[in-house]
Amino acid sequence: MSSSSKSSNKGSEGLAIQLPFLRGRRYGFAALRAFETTLLNTRQRDSEFSDQLRSNRLSWGKVRNEELLPILLLGNSAEFTDDDEFELMPEGHAVDIQLHTRQGITAYQITVADPSWGERSTANGSYLYHLRAERLRAGDPAFGGAHTWREGGIIHSMPHARDAMEDMNACQQSLTEAVKRKQAHDGSECVLLIYARGHRFLLIDFDIKEVVAQAVRAAGATTFKNVIVVDDGLFWELSPHQ
């Protein structure tokens, strides 16, 4: 196959994928794990699709990245079986996802915590994450830290040196902010699930569970039944009102 033919087919496989899960219906974790395996295999073959998914440019990208992926990380850490079920709740519902497992029914509100570097601006971690994702999608280099910003419609990203303590502070700030965002909610009937996106990599030099514990407790009390923090390879749980 010629290089021109290859480029003309780029993205055709991945962009045909649709989210197979409807709100208000229950599905087994087997289906979610199979879907994630399909995504992983397709992303490895299709960089355009991977970029679109990372930057939430697919119609279902945000649901997968910020609701289904966190619940899958939780399910894998807690060793939920393939027969355990999840349910995406309708738009506007007080609960994001409800789980039906051997332990019963558990409701979750889900939020994402992206590292918040504050030395350049007050931009929150999620905004910086999506700026970097857009840079990568455009084929431009994107660097970590707060030295990424949008000006005149153009996204800039400047390399700069950061030490481990700076990264730790950025992770702790994002987790504390994530809890505070939810403190006004009535969480008495559900668990707050925080997806600490990318924290595991940045906190490799630290006792990550202690870093997480300090950050969550620094936010103050919530009304949630429990607070759980997940990332790839991370599971941390706060006892209620501890």
Tokens of 108: 């979750």
Write down the pLDDT at residue 7. 38
Write down the pLDDT at residue 104. 95
pLDDT of 118 higher than 80: no
> In which band, very low, low, confident or very high, does the pLDDT at 122 lie, cut at 50, 70 and 90?
very low
Range 191-212 average pLDDT: 94
CA distance 139 to 27: 36
Better pLDDT: 140 or 238: 238
> In which band, very low, low, confident or very high, does the pLDDT at 147 lie, cut at 50, 70 and 90?
low
Question: Roughly what angle, to the nearest 10 degrees, separates helices 164-181 and 208-218?
Answer: 40
Question: Which H/E stretch holds residue 70?
Answer: helix 69-77
Better pLDDT: 47 or 179: 179
State pLDDT tens for residues 177-198: 999 999 988 888 999 999 999 9
**What is the torsional sign of CA 44, 233, 64, 24?**
positive
Question: What phi, psi does 52 have (nearest 5°)?
Answer: -65, -40
Closest CA relative to residue 13, chosen from 41, 55, 54, 34:
41
pLDDT of 125 higher than 60: no
Write down the pLDDT at residue 120. 45
In three-state secondary structure terms, 126 is helix
Write down the pLDDT at residue 121. 43
Write down the pLDDT at residue 47. 87
Answer yes or no: are the C-beta atoms of 198 and 233 closer than 8 Å: no
* pTM of the predicted model as reported, rounded to 2 decimal places: 0.82
Average pLDDT, the chain: 85
Counting residues of the chain whose pLDDT is more than 70, the rounded percentage is 76
Write down the pLDDT at residue 1. 38
pLDDT of 29 higher than 60: yes
Write down the pLDDT at residue 156. 61
> In which band, very low, low, confident or very high, does the pLDDT at 143 lie, cut at 50, 70 and 90?
low
